[in-house]
Chains A and B, each alone.
Chain A
Amino acid sequence: MNARQDTTNSYLKSLAVLTVLIFAVLAVTSPSFLTATNLNSMGFQFPEFGLLALAVLPTMISGGIDLSVVATANLAAITAAVIMKAAPELAWLAVPAALAVGTACGAFNGFLIAYLRLPPILATLGTMQLFAGFGIAITRGPAITGLPDWYTAFGNWSIGGVLPLPLLLFAIVAVALSVLLRRTPVGLRLRLFGANPVAAKFAGIRERGLLIRIYAITGFIAALAGLVVLARVNSANADYGSSYLLLVILINILAGVSPAGGFGTVAGVMLAVISLQFISSGLNSLSFSAFSRDLFFGGLLVAVMSLRAATGSSGFATLFQRKAKPS
């Protein structure tokens, strides 16, 4: 099913070439880059923001955005941590409860956007603060630590010592989301709705149900990311990973997702995630400071956006608009 526009395909190809190029350069210049330790640690690092990037993808295809993904992930992690600490006999409930909280957060975003017609960027900016506020109210500030060993073991477990569990989870979500976007009516309608909401209305696409579903899916994936973080760092904190938000948007932009809606692929997001992880690890192994990473990523975001704006394939203005209503 070749649903993508030709330009998206060629963009993906150049992104793939870029990824391979970065890999090759680092493999040659940095002696520690190609070691098993480094590759393995990368495998544990990128799934968490990779999952968050996948979470934002469907909302961006719909012409919206979800700024609350990181806050949602943290709230889900806090939920799980509280349950595990407070009632060890109900610990099995922790994971489903966290996923349910994430899904509910997403559905709430969808409600604000679909029913109250708030612009997505403002609605989720508000809920970002709201969800983070809930998290702080629950934890009263400090991180929740001291989780059961069986749970944190997941975060550091590699299958056969090679394939980190978080990486496997990331791969499963990527495949599932890809199938959802390309092989289900929801995915197809989502893309068309993102391309032209007015035409979608006249074609009989039920906008409200669609939006709520999309944002709920986003919340669900964000909660998964939160659970991965919880297992890996062994603590739940209301303001963990605040720098992830911009990184996640950078990934989607780099992935060729159109902020105006209608275009975006899971393959693009995977390539963008991997190439950014390469850059990040590479800078590390070349002993740049952690601050130079932000500088580098910020520069890259501006460069990619400018390049795409210059070639006319972008429309950021839509993020600030309400959905157009036919007269």
Chain B
Amino acid sequence: MTLEAEDKPAVLEMRTIRKAYGPVRVLADVSLSLAEGEVRCLAGENGSGKSTLIKILSGVVGADAGTVTIAGRPQGNDAKAAISAGLSVIYQDFSLFPNLTVWENIGFLAAVTAGDTLHRRSARRALATETLKRMRVEIDPDTPVERLPVASKQLVAIARALANNARIIVMDEPTTALTRSEVARLLEIVGALRDEGVAFLFVSHKIEEVFAICDTITVLRDGRVVVEGPIQEFDAASLVEAMTGRSIDSRRLPRIQAEPTAPFLSARKLGRRGEYTDVDIDLRPGEIVSVVGLLGSGRTELALTLFGTLTADEGRIEIGGLPVVFASESDAIDHGIAYVPEDRLTEGLFLNQTIRDNIVVSSLEKNLRAGFIDARALAQRARDAVKALRIKTPDVSPSVATLSGGNQQRVVLARWMERDPKLMILNGPTVGVDVGSKREIHELLVALSRSGKAVMVVTDDISEAIALSDTILVMVRGKITGRFDANDVDEDQLYNEVIKEGRA
């Protein structure tokens, strides 16, 4: 298949794409090409620049330098032109209209491209049924999309792309929410379409998915292409190494085994409708517990419940043996709980405000004199925190946006350490953080836990969980399906647990 693909003309060419957001370089000289009927995988860890590349490709975001050519036509920063040129991007959430029927969704893109001024009901419906037939998929075209299972929604999204004569289909983490049989079905359809000459670009960081689907692969790391080539040249180990840049990452950090103590916080039979159910968890001082699960497994919702952002429908939370109910985040904070959110840029930081304010925001009362802020003491405290966490900045007055990802994450950590919390919950603590900083943040967390704090880490990064934790909980479809001592489990075993289909 690969050899055939190489003979065919390139339908997509991206050359020396460069992009920076402010001082942060996201992409550096990235080139990528796709031939007719080729299935390529764009692999890379979170924060490696995959999504930015896709946004540039689809014309949503402009590149600082470099060119994008689709079917021989150079593209600018114009999403509609890219769609007309035959490109279709299927995002993780599919971007379908849930309240419209299957055929309306499928016909929509074609109607926009054709510039329909009137709604051509019968023509669009015919187009939709024909497309579904071509894919050999049986979905009732009159069903509202919201009533379909996830796998069918994905097929509708593909059908929508095809109905618009897409020659290139980009899919972002296509198998995340699918069961194995559904993945097999998807692969069949992809295979059939490939034979018709449709090119696919899969965006993924899941090793298994990559090997199951693709002919060729491009690996991004820190905004650069590190390797590319036919899939046969890779095995799982070499691919992981290419993506992460090291094989040492999953080595466990050295630590003194903590003495078993009474839990600081326990949850029993905790559940929230549609998100997670029957969760038992104990968080002890001096112990790091990781909750590992895929996107949509309920891991984030569980963490947010323990921080008071969401409320549980059932079960109870106890602190020091006494039941508690959190009305809001502030309640949880008053109980000594800290939370480092998943998305540092939109949830964690006040980007255009000073480093100082970002650090002291949750502990202003420490520097109050008669109700007024002692500005000098406040700044000094921020400077001390910067020094203690080795945040690289000349001073605390520049805005936090000027820092690199790893240093920004340390600012969020510093904010909570100023409050001396008893429990620190971290959601994806090293997403978008470079390799060196990642290790340092892990060391910081281990030191934090050994100083007697309970630490809970929520992540989908298996090697991170193994490197960091004492106990690992695996979460699948809203349930804790496995508990492991991080000493006795290896990556493969854990990986298989995490992607296990729901048992419910």
Q: Which A residue's beta carbon lies closest to that of B398?
A: A6
Question: Which residues of A in the span 183-234 have a Cβ within 8 Å of any Cβ on B?
Answer: 183-185, 188-189, 191-192, 195-196, 198-206
Is the Cβ of B357 less than 8 Å from the Cβ of A262? no
> Counting CB contacts under 8 A, is B202 at the interface?
no
Is the Cβ of B362 less than 8 Å from the Cβ of A203? yes
Is the Cβ of A202 less than 8 Å from the Cβ of B347? yes
Contact check: which of A179, A202, A204 meets B348 at CB < 8 Å? Answer: A202
Is the Cβ of A196 less than 8 Å from the Cβ of B349? yes
Q: Which B residue's beta carbon lies closest to that of A187?
A: B373
Q: How far is the CA of A200 from the CA of B329 in the complex (A)?
A: 10
Q: Which B residue's beta carbon lies closest to that of A207?
A: B328
Is the Cβ of A185 less than 8 Å from the Cβ of B347? no
Is the Cβ of A5 less than 8 Å from the Cβ of B352? yes
| Contact status of A199 and B347, CB under 8 A, knowing A185-B368, A192-B361 | yes
Residues of chain A within 8 A of B339, CB atoms compared: 202
Residues of chain A within 8 A of B329, CB atoms compared: 201-202, 204
Q: How far is the CA of A198 from the CA of B361 in the complex (A)?
A: 14
Is the Cβ of B309 less than 8 Å from the Cβ of A326? yes
Is the Cβ of A188 less than 8 Å from the Cβ of B350? no
Is the Cβ of B352 less than 8 Å from the Cβ of A1? no
> Counting CB contacts under 8 A, is B261 at the interface?
no
Question: Which residues of B in the span 378-403 have a Cβ within 8 Å of any Cβ on A?
Answer: 378-379, 397, 399
| Contact status of A199 and B373, CB under 8 A, knowing A185-B364, A204-B362 | no
> Most B CB atoms within 10 A — which of A182, A183, A196, A206?
A196
Q: What is the minimal beta-carbon distance from B46 to any residue of chain A, in angstroms?
A: 18
Is the Cβ of A2 less than 8 Å from the Cβ of B353? no
Is the Cβ of B351 less than 8 Å from the Cβ of A204? no
> Most B CB atoms within 10 A — which of A192, A204, A206?
A204
Question: Which residues of B in the span 348-375 have a Cβ within 8 Å of any Cβ on A?
Answer: 348-354, 356-357, 361-362, 364-365, 368, 371-373, 375
Is the Cβ of B347 less than 8 Å from the Cβ of A198? yes
Is the Cβ of B399 less than 8 Å from the Cβ of A185? no
| Contact status of A199 and B348, CB under 8 A, knowing A1-B379, A189-B361 | yes
Tally of contact residues, B, Cβ under 8 A: 33
Q: How far is the CA of A182 from the CA of B357 in the complex (A)?
A: 12
> Counting CB contacts under 8 A, is B415 at the interface?
yes
Q: How far is the CA of A314 from the CA of B28 in the complex (A)?
A: 29
Q: How far is the CA of A189 from the CA of B357 in the complex (A)?
A: 9
> Most A CB atoms within 10 A — which of B351, B357, B368, B399?
B357
> Counting CB contacts under 8 A, is B5 at the interface?
no
Q: What is the minimal beta-carbon distance from B289 to any residue of chain A, in angstroms?
A: 20
Q: What is the minimal beta-carbon distance from A311 to any residue of chain B, in angstroms?
A: 14
Q: What is the minimal beta-carbon distance from B465 to any residue of chain A, in angstroms?
A: 23
Residues of chain A within 8 A of B361, CB atoms compared: 188-189, 192, 200, 203, 205
Q: How far is the CA of A196 from the CA of B63 in the complex (A)?
A: 27
> Counting CB contacts under 8 A, is A295 at the interface?
no
Residues of chain B within 8 A of A206, CB atoms compared: 328, 330
Is the Cβ of B373 less than 8 Å from the Cβ of A183? yes
Is the Cβ of B351 less than 8 Å from the Cβ of A195? yes
Q: Which B residue's beta carbon lies closest to that of A198?
A: B347
A-contact bits for B398-433, CB 8 A (1 contact / 0 none): 010000000000000001000000000000000000
Q: What is the minimal beta-carbon distance from B276 to any residue of chain A, in angstroms?
A: 15
> Most A CB atoms within 10 A — which of B356, B368, B375?
B375
A-contact bits for B412-456, CB 8 A (1 contact / 0 none): 000100000000000000000000000000000000000000000
Q: How far is the CA of A192 from the CA of B347 in the complex (A)?
A: 12
> Counting CB contacts under 8 A, is A3 at the interface?
yes
> Counting CB contacts under 8 A, is B478 at the interface?
no
Q: What is the minimal beta-carbon distance from A253 to any residue of chain B, in angstroms?
A: 18
Q: How far is the CA of A204 from the CA of B365 in the complex (A)?
A: 13
Residues of chain A within 8 A of B174, CB atoms compared: none
Q: How far is the CA of A192 from the CA of B399 in the complex (A)?
A: 12
Q: How far is the CA of A5 from the CA of B352 in the complex (A)?
A: 8
Is the Cβ of A195 less than 8 Å from the Cβ of B348? no
Q: Which A residue's beta carbon lies closest to that of B396?
A: A2
> Counting CB contacts under 8 A, is B333 at the interface?
yes
Is the Cβ of A202 less than 8 Å from the Cβ of B341? yes
B-contact bits for A150-186, CB 8 A (1 contact / 0 none): 0000000000000000000000000000010011110
Q: How far is the CA of A192 from the CA of B371 in the complex (A)?
A: 19
Q: What is the minimal beta-carbon distance from B335 to any residue of chain A, in angstroms?
A: 11
> Counting CB contacts under 8 A, is B346 at the interface?
yes
Is the Cβ of A203 less than 8 Å from the Cβ of B352? no
Q: What is the minimal beta-carbon distance from B348 to any residue of chain A, in angstroms?
A: 6
Residues of chain A within 8 A of B364, CB atoms compared: 185, 188-189
Is the Cβ of B379 less than 8 Å from the Cβ of A199? no
Contact check: which of B356, B375, B378, B399 meets A5 at CB < 8 Å? Answer: B399
Residues of chain B within 8 A of A185, CB atoms compared: 364-365, 368, 373
Q: How far is the CA of A13 from the CA of B46 in the complex (A)?
A: 42
| Contact status of A198 and B346, CB under 8 A, knowing A189-B361, A204-B333 | yes
Is the Cβ of A188 less than 8 Å from the Cβ of B357? yes
Is the Cβ of A201 less than 8 Å from the Cβ of B365? no
Q: What is the minimal beta-carbon distance from A47 to any residue of chain B, in angstroms?
A: 26
Contact check: which of B304, B349, B356, B375 meets A183 at CB < 8 Å? Answer: B375
Residues of chain A within 8 A of B353, CB atoms compared: 3, 5, 191-192, 195, 262
Q: Could you jot down 17 A-B contacts, CB within 8 Å?
A: A3-B357, A5-B354, A185-B364, A185-B373, A192-B353, A199-B346, A199-B350, A200-B361, A201-B329, A202-B309, A202-B341, A202-B347, A204-B329, A204-B333, A206-B330, A262-B350, A326-B304
The 8 A-B pairs at the shortest CB distance, nearest first, are namely A1-B375, A204-B333, A195-B350, A185-B364, A183-B372, A196-B350, A203-B361, A203-B362
Known: A201-B309, A204-B329. 5 other contacts (CB 8 A): A1-B379, A192-B357, A198-B347, A202-B329, A326-B304
